[in-house]
Structure 1
Amino acid sequence: MVFRGLCVGLGGFFSFAAVVLCVFANIGQLSNNVVTRNIRYVSVDTRGLGDALSRAGQSNTNIFAQDQSSPVGQGNGIKDDYQWGLYNYCAGEVNGDSRSCSQRNFGFEFLPADAVLSDTPQGDRQTLQNFLPESTFRDSGYLGRFSKAAMYLIFIGSCLALIAWVAGLLSHRFAFLGAAFIALLSALALGVGAALLTAIYVKTKASIDNANFGITIHYGNALWITWAAVLAVALSIVPYIISCCTGRSDDY
């Protein structure tokens, strides 16, 4: 009885932890408050781009934003830093609240080159586009396709983690079996989604992250939060299975 109670408690603890972690991963960049603006999957630092353009003999006088809080995507100038969440991105100061965000939408895509170019004034856009390397950083088709798939998988995995936790609260052996199965599906969805994002971020970073182009990519805390959620929900599976095998078919 004590062992069964311990397993029930562990299953509930790990699945609840996964839900909390998923909530944090999902709210990154949704607003400009101090919590969400500091949660990001990946960031693109463009502060070295001016020097790189100068070394290449390109003028960079008017391509950077004078106001870091000006709307994104309207040719108001390149921002210092671009930070992605699951549903939108924000750009502006690296640390601080002088920034603005894109519109939020479901199935959002990680398109770093498009974000930077859309902020570049129209007259300088072609120059910058020619300067950026033909690499993964500019491969909008590849990045968009896989980042969108990852976003859907992480959202689905987050919902499944919530369902698994709720099912575990029902204190019924068949509910525990259902919770274990749903937790497995959640771990798979979250794991594949996190793996896709990790892969495209690594490739993008490797393709642009050097002094020649002045753009630096940093992995964000939301990526590690998602991997932690994968681990948490996976750890809930065995306790739920043991609870099912040792429990009764009626409520405790």
Structure 2
Amino acid sequence: MVLHRLLTGETIDQLINQVDREKHLLFYSYLTQRRGKAQFIGQYVDDHLTAVLAYISELSFPAFSFYCIEREEVLFPELIMFAREAYRLNDHVTCGTILCEHDLQLFQSYGLITGTPQRFLTMKHEDQEKLLASHSAEDVKAEEYDEVVHFLQNEGMRFFTRSEIERCPFLGIKDGKNFIAVGGFHFYDAQLVEIGNIVTRQAYRGKGLGKLLTSQLTRLGKECATDVYLGVLSENEPAVNVYKGLGYETTAERSIVDFKFKPDYKCHSSAN
């Protein structure tokens, strides 16, 4: 028998202890920092949890995280159709997620992926001695939030939300009164520190500002938690090389994908 239902707090707590954070960093963030804003639909086959599709609506697009537990038992079309109806998403809406290779193949096999997947690296900081000593970046003040939000949005930071600058430290470098580079965190607490939103204005690129920001943010992150992560497109070789030079190592390779729910799936499962 197949059932789909929202996960209980107890089940979410159990998953936190089971999930390999370095391999499934996105899903782990849904279970922890994003927990209050996320919804978790679990598929149960004969009372065994086989897969979870989690959803948040705070980004500029419907954002999901997929976690597969029993790959051989997952009834994927049923899960997708149930989630589509539960979240009231139509077939015209483009959603986004990050998938491992097996899950990417699963989504592709049902024709859900739109466009070309982008290879994405999760990197973890491992060598403190490689960080720079510079502290040239300054804290972004509350009265500067609007300016930084506008800056990041203009630079096309798709995964940035205003709530991040309101709850996490952000650093900036100015030329006169104007920001020329900023950087901060997606998450910043004892559970998970993930650096993100690092942007340098086009005219100032190639001057090492991103490296300075990343180094300073890494030091700041390690004041909060032992492990500090960041993500980068694998095709962005200059950035990857900068991060390696600062002591980061790749822990996982994934694909950022856009996908759409197909309206022609027939769901034969029950719901609780």
TM bracket (short chain) = under 0.3
- So what's the TM-score if we normalise by structure 2? 0.26
More helix by share: 1
More strand by share: 2
- So what's the TM-score if we normalise by structure 1? 0.27
